[in-house]
Structure 1
Amino acid sequence: MEAGHDFLKALATVLLVAAVTTVLFQRLRQPVVLGYMIAGMVIGPYVPIPLVADPDIIHTLSELGVILLMFSLGLEFSLHKLVEVGPAAGITAVVQSSLMLCLGFEVARLFGWTTREAMFTGAIVAISSTTIIAKAFEEQRIGGSLREIVVGVLIVEDLIAILLMAALTAIGSGGAVSVRELGVTSLHLAIFLAALIVVGILVVPRAIRAIIAMNRPETTLVASIGLCFGVSLLARSFGYSVALGAFISGSLVAESGEQHAIEGLIRPVRDLFAAIFFVSVGMMLDPSILVDHWRAILVLTFIVIVGKVLGVGFGAFLTGHGVQTSIGAGLSLAQIGEFSFIIAGLGISLDATRNFLYPIAIAVSAITTLTTPWLIRAAKPVASFVDHKLPQPLQTFAALYGSWIDRLRSGSANKADRTAGTMIRKLLKQLVVDALLLGAVIVAAYVARPRIVKIEIERLGLPWEFANSIALAFSVLCALPFCIGIARVARRLGILLADLAFPGTATPEGLDLAAAPRRALIVTLQLACVLLVGIPLVTFTQPLLPGFQGALILLIALVLLGIMFWKTTTNLEGHVRAGAEIVAEALTAGTVTTDPGAEDARKKLDQLRSGLGTPVTVIVEGGSPADGHSLAELDLRGLTGATVLAISREDHAIVPSAKELLRQGDVLVVAGSREAVHAAKVLLEGAHGSPRERG
């Protein structure tokens, strides 16, 4: 009886204090998750307020919150949805997560934490918060391409988080970070997951559809939650996290196609126990630990904001999103949340980390939760500032690159024959195989090098330094062929994709009219391939290599490619200036549309235009916001991502500077991705008449 009274008292305390804080934070227009964590501090044992809930009872209830929260996330994830978000979100998520894992690991190592704690730290800062972003986007009514890329990245990040939790479970369960033990444990985990998914995919979707057909909501609710807890218990019995089991059960239910009906039923129950979970997180926040580790909190907060903005922004830009969308996505995802708490709690439960890491994760999450709405609002001015500070060649490249990726996605790429598609898949497989083999060589060198050095010392009598240098040189020689292979495959892939983006741009005399854009695209795609392979590889081998050897090698490769990239963008700038004048003059004279005898000139012009992103022309009408204003005042490129290549005015063409004043009757040659050009037309239209467009 006494136990039941204690349970009721703890539950009442939690829910009453949480109710007060959630109402208060709703009025203040702040994230309610932060209010729940403050409620936890109020009723926790570390703050001298006479409202203390039983930590053991709250911890048990919070486990239910974790399970239901992960089940809900699993409902949002299915195989077909992963296909829908496309490679753009996948590439962006991989770049961002790998970069944050690497940065988090190095920061922890600089603070002198153990290797395991460094691994958990990297995972804690790698995953953004779905809950916080969803709430912020709802309040600020964010939509369009920014919402699509952010939601896509979050879906892939959720999958990465599950893989990280599985890997960290394997790492945290052993007595030492051993490659052999990690491999054996990971193999057991893979077998368990494969068996669970295969059996589940055969049984669960059919069972859920049969239960839904009964049209009894309470039966559906009880069966769904029962399945969730059953799979969670199964995962726990095999020594894995209950969160992993809950996520898998949600994914299996999602395959039935009835996830929306189930999600509506479990949402009230999930929200209740999720609130208790976040309150329990706040209860573990010890102010004395925060004071002792304030430097780590500030550094990790800085790393989360800056690292995610750079990682997401760069990844989104490489996949064809403009500067504004890419920076907006980076600023939106610059926080950590529920997965970070779960990963930090996993470290404590496995006895792989000390207790200080959990409060640090909470503090970093609280700070970044507060900054997220402000960062989202700052997206447009930050994007405009970045655009203004970029050198002119990079401004031109940024405006045109999105249009090239558009052509690969829908235009020329769709007309390519099957041979090109087969070759692309073959090159991607080669890239993955070379990367895996390179990682295997690095691991093998890490394991075998001490033995090789010992043999050299004992049998050849060599000094340790010399023997170690020989072993290191041998390891480098073994890895070199795979590094060269990755570079070659990346170049071949870049050339093939560039041919698809700029088809038929050679004249009968053999002159390539899109040579400069082609070279810029090839180098950019090479850079993207090196990043996609290099950052995860460095992250994977980081615990095995002393110091910053892997990161240094990757940095050298990026510097070399960066020099090549700068040269190609400089050449592109000259190409664009010359080509823009020709396009403007031709369009002004009506060469493209009115002269039926200029077939050769028309073909040559079409070939030239392909490298300029297939520009369109917009006539400045009277009353347009552009009339009488300079391009700098309009901030057309900073706000839309499109660029004005040239202006046709009366009987001559102008290559404009930022200070060029626009006049009524000017014909603007606007280039960029389809989305950027459309946004530019809307900006030029304003509240007045629509600007006339010519092809």
Structure 2
Amino acid sequence: MKLFLLSQTAIHLPSLITDLGLILITASIAVLIFKKLKQPLVLGYLVAGFLAGNNFNFFPTVTESNDVTIWAEIGVIFLLFSLGLEFSFKKLTKVGGTASITALTQIFTMLALGYTVGQALNWSNMDSIFLGVILSISSTTIILKAFEELGVKTQKFAGNVIGSLIVQDIVAILLMVLLSTIAVSSQFSGSELIFAFVKLFFFLILWFVLGIFFIPTFLKKSKKILTDEMLLIISIALCLLMVIFAANAGFSPGLGAFIMGSIIAETNQSEHIEKLIKPVKDLFGAIFFVSVGMLIDPDTLVTYSIPVLILTVVTIFGQSISSTIGSLLSGQPLKQSIQAGMSLSQIGEFSFIIATLGMSLNVTQDFLYPVVVAVSAITTFTTPYMIKSASPFANFVESKLPKRWIKKIERYSANTQAIKPTSLWKSYITDYIKQVIINGVISIAIIILSKKLLLPIVSEKMFGEFLTAAITLLVLLPFLWAISLKRINKEAVQELIKERKYRGPIIMMFIARILFSVILIGFMLNNIISPLFGLLMFVLCIVTYVIFTKQINGFYYKLESHFLSNFNENNPEDVKAKRQNLTPWDGHIAEFSIPENSEIVGKKLEELKLREQFGINIAFIKRGEKTINIPQKSEIIYPNDILNVIGTDIQVNEFKDYIQSNFNNEETSNMEIVLWKLEMKQQDFIGKTIRESNIREITNGIVVGIEKSGRRILNPESNCILEESDILWIVGNKDKIKSFIE
């Protein structure tokens, strides 16, 4: 009886579980339908969100939208973490030129355009300012998802788009700080913006240096004991740790996730971690897109239909045109510029964050957020179609523009992208800035940490301040030496000093390094010790350095060597970056993973004749942790090899189609593989090599052994000549071997 009563008692499930179940069930049905219709899955997620949201009551709806918001925030974190894994910190430091010009042109154009449209709609100044910022930032997550589903990540314009998105995300953080300042003080504060930029720059360098110094070493040392489960947990833990650091420093959690992904990308386990993270990213990414769909409110679309329509048109055309112009200014060809511009024609997650900021500060009207969501939803729908139509539209524009315009654009692009030799002076300046800034940031961080962590512990003891200052100076000495006295680019200085015009600047820059070191010491003493002991401590610093010069220098070189070793651990990125600069103006490097059932597996490069067929070159092959640079023609392709090929978009796409179509189409479950003994009697094959006989192609198998006059040869070379009465051992398709014999 008790068991019966217990069975009749309903078990209460937390709303978090029921809501998550509803979201995933709805998303599963929607994506299956959209996959069947050959439509982008992002659209399916948005439709699923709309159906599961509170604004559509014909189906069961989510009860706690706040829980979904948290899941969505986690989704953004993992999406940006995965983005960082794909695009390392080296790429982040090299996006410069093309991506920066494209992004900044788009941002400044859309800021002005958004503010103007807001004023034309009779919105307040604050609403118009926020609107300009909202419309200026494209959606990283939506574009990456669309690129992945449309299969265009290997095309050259995609690299420019992704670089632009990285720059946009960083600028978006600065704009959020600026908006907060304007909202609080009701006026523009240039000093606040400069401080925010310096703060961001400081933390980026600090996180980068510390991350590269410690994380690759940790993963390398613990590699033997790490299982996939442990590696996944550690990777997520590192990601969330950086998210916490970023949030506590006043930055976006997504920025922290991206930075940690970029740091891990420098390790030789980055690809393995990326594969482990992918299911997690896909799960939470789906929840993020569903949550966006849940915010679609039909009533808002009707009430504010005119502003939504206007802003949608402004977003699509404004971002497309401004990004295209920015890409052209950076020196990209016309077609790639149009492709990049049309890919960036939407708003997304950062726009939601900025709109939420306005609401939380009570400086924007209530209607702004739903309008932004509606515009984002519509432009998310249009993004895949904009990307698809970019190439045909670019061809149409090229056919309509005057030929002299096309030639001028091509000439400008060629001149901009031409490889120019780096001067010795520029090389010296670059090395100078790197050495001074990196060591300066580390020194400031040591001083701040010493004041906040060490001083409170030691200050209660006798001469506590003096002891803290002494310990801090001891730790600082190697970095102060690197700032002030370490020789920078010795070869370049020796050549430059021969010319009179460079002697003065080099001497002044050396003096500046000395003064900067003195300022850092003064900054440390001012924050830790009383002025009474300041001079004594300064003298002690100099004496210590004079006595222990060799040890201090050696310690610094050990630190530097360890850092550079970790930084260069993932060599393919360096190789790829170097090759990238050697490609033709319309060429680029694309990456392809070879499936296990591909028919090119087991073949040598000279057999495949890829250059003759497609015009591509293989820059390097990555095989597990091994990298084969400039592979020889005798190199064999193995399953799961990653080929990095150089070619144009057309050549790369042809090779992509070739890879995708070259599968063994026979059902392996219905195909019987046998080891067959065959005596060579057919005159057609006698005197030919194994390769010339085409036995492999005819039997869909391989010759694994030959008996010649009682002598056995295992795995004979392809140039082995077949003789009469040879006995061949062939592994292959039973039916085809029988047909061959008959």
CA contact (8 A) 1:301 1:368 kept: yes
- The CA deviation at 1:105 is 3.0
Distance in 1, matches of 2:174 and 2:125, equals 17
Deviation sequence 1:69-106 (CA, Å, 0-9, x none): 23223333433113555622332222223322332233
The letter for the 2-side match of 1:295 is I
Rate the CA distance shift 1:84–1:257 in 2: closer, same or farther, 3 A. Answer: farther
Distance in 1, matches of 2:178 and 2:215, equals 27
9-18 vs 54-63, greater mean Cα deviation = 54-63
In structure 1, the partner of 2:231 is 220
In structure 2, the partner of 1:20 is 29
In structure 2, the partner of 1:80 is 90
Distance in 2, matches of 1:339 and 1:230, equals 21
Rate the CA distance shift 1:354–1:92 in 2: closer, same or farther, 3 A. Answer: same
TM-score by length of 2: 0.51
Distance in 2, matches of 1:187 and 1:418, equals 30
Q: Are 1:47 and 2:60 counterparts?
A: no
Distance in 1, matches of 2:76 and 2:427, equals 44
In structure 1, the partner of 2:171 is 163
- 1:124 equivalent among 118, 134, 137: 134
The letter for the 2-side match of 1:8 is I
The letter for the 2-side match of 1:221 is L
The letter for the 1-side match of 2:83 is L
Distance in 2, matches of 1:8 and 1:230, equals 26
Distance in 2, matches of 1:285 and 1:382, equals 30
Equivalent position SS for 1:125? helix
- Listed as ranges, the matches of 1:152-551 within 5 Å are 152-169=160-177, 171-172=179-180, 175-180=184-189, 182-183=192-193, 186=196, 189-190=199-200, 195-349=206-360, 351=362, 353-391=364-402, 393-406=404-417, 409-410=418-419, 413-414=420-421, 418=424
CA contact (8 A) 2:103 2:167 kept: no
Distance in 2, matches of 1:233 and 1:196, equals 13
In structure 2, the partner of 1:60 is 70
- The CA deviation at 1:272 is 0.9
Distance in 2, matches of 1:677 and 1:36, equals 30
Q: Which runs of 5+ in 2 are unaligned?
A: 1-9, 431-584, 586-645, 655-742
In structure 1, the partner of 2:159 is 151
- Listed as ranges, the matches of 1:6-17 within 5 Å are 6-17=15-26
In structure 2, the partner of 1:35 is 44
Distance in 2, matches of 1:194 and 1:266, equals 26
- The CA deviation at 1:423 is 12
In structure 1, the partner of 2:576 is none
- The CA deviation at 1:222 is 0.9
Distance in 2, matches of 1:29 and 1:90, equals 34
- 2:119 equivalent among 96, 109, 116: 109
Distance in 1, matches of 2:389 and 2:54, equals 38
The letter for the 2-side match of 1:218 is E
Matched residue pairs, number?
427
The letter for the 2-side match of 1:360 is V
Equivalent position SS for 1:320? coil
Equivalent position SS for 1:51? coil
Distance in 1, matches of 2:344 and 2:329, equals 17
- The CA deviation at 1:268 is 0.7
Distance in 1, matches of 2:414 and 2:197, equals 44
- The CA deviation at 1:199 is 4.2
Distance in 2, matches of 1:363 and 1:217, equals 41
Rate the CA distance shift 1:193–1:424 in 2: closer, same or farther, 3 A. Answer: closer
Equivalent position SS for 1:378? helix
CA contact (8 A) 1:172 1:352 kept: no
The letter for the 2-side match of 1:168 is M
Distance in 2, matches of 1:188 and 1:167, equals 14
Distance in 2, matches of 1:316 and 1:184, equals 27
Distance in 1, matches of 2:649 and 2:246, equals 51
CA contact (8 A) 1:335 1:372 kept: yes
TM-score by length of 1: 0.54
- The CA deviation at 1:211 is 4.3
Deviation sequence 1:10-59 (CA, Å, 0-9, x none): 11111111111111121222222222222222222222224121212222
Distance in 1, matches of 2:12 and 2:124, equals 40
Deviation sequence 1:249-270 (CA, Å, 0-9, x none): 3333334353322221111112
Distance in 1, matches of 2:237 and 2:423, equals 50
Deviation sequence 1:449-501 (CA, Å, 0-9, x none): xxxxxxxxxxxxxxxxxxxxxxxxxxxxxxxxxxxxxxxxxxxxxxxxxxxxx
Deviation sequence 1:281-312 (CA, Å, 0-9, x none): 22222222222222222222222222222222
Rate the CA distance shift 1:140–1:193 in 2: closer, same or farther, 3 A. Answer: closer
Equivalent position SS for 2:345? coil
Rate the CA distance shift 1:306–1:48 in 2: closer, same or farther, 3 A. Answer: same
Deviation sequence 1:337-387 (CA, Å, 0-9, x none): 344334444444555544433333332233223333333343344334433
Distance in 2, matches of 1:424 and 1:61, equals 46
Rate the CA distance shift 1:67–1:320 in 2: closer, same or farther, 3 A. Answer: closer
Distance in 1, matches of 2:242 and 2:423, equals 46
Larger Rg: 2
Equivalent position SS for 2:56? coil
Distance in 1, matches of 2:193 and 2:386, equals 41
Q: Which runs of 5+ in 1 are unaligned?
A: 426-612, 614-673, 683-695
The higher relative CO (CA closer than 8 Å, separation ≥ 6) is in 1
The letter for the 2-side match of 1:99 is T
The letter for the 2-side match of 1:340 is S
Distance in 2, matches of 1:196 and 1:393, equals 49
CA contact (8 A) 1:169 1:350 kept: no
Distance in 2, matches of 1:43 and 1:55, equals 10
Distance in 1, matches of 2:362 and 2:264, equals 32
Distance in 1, matches of 2:141 and 2:219, equals 26
Distance in 2, matches of 1:66 and 1:355, equals 24
CA RMSD of aligned residues (A): 3.8
Deviation sequence 1:381-408 (CA, Å, 0-9, x none): 43344334434542442343334335xx
CA contact (8 A) 2:75 2:287 kept: yes
Equivalent position SS for 2:331? coil
Distance in 2, matches of 1:98 and 1:424, equals 30
Distance in 2, matches of 1:676 and 1:207, equals 39
Distance in 1, matches of 2:650 and 2:197, equals 51
- Listed as ranges, the matches of 1:571-582 within 5 Å are none
- The CA deviation at 1:168 is 0.5
- Listed as ranges, the matches of 1:547-566 within 5 Å are none
CA contact (8 A) 1:172 1:351 kept: no
Distance in 2, matches of 1:196 and 1:405, equals 33
Rate the CA distance shift 1:231–1:326 in 2: closer, same or farther, 3 A. Answer: closer
Distance in 1, matches of 2:145 and 2:224, equals 33
CA contact (8 A) 1:68 1:270 kept: yes
Rate the CA distance shift 1:169–1:24 in 2: closer, same or farther, 3 A. Answer: farther
Distance in 2, matches of 1:396 and 1:185, equals 44
Rate the CA distance shift 1:218–1:28 in 2: closer, same or farther, 3 A. Answer: same
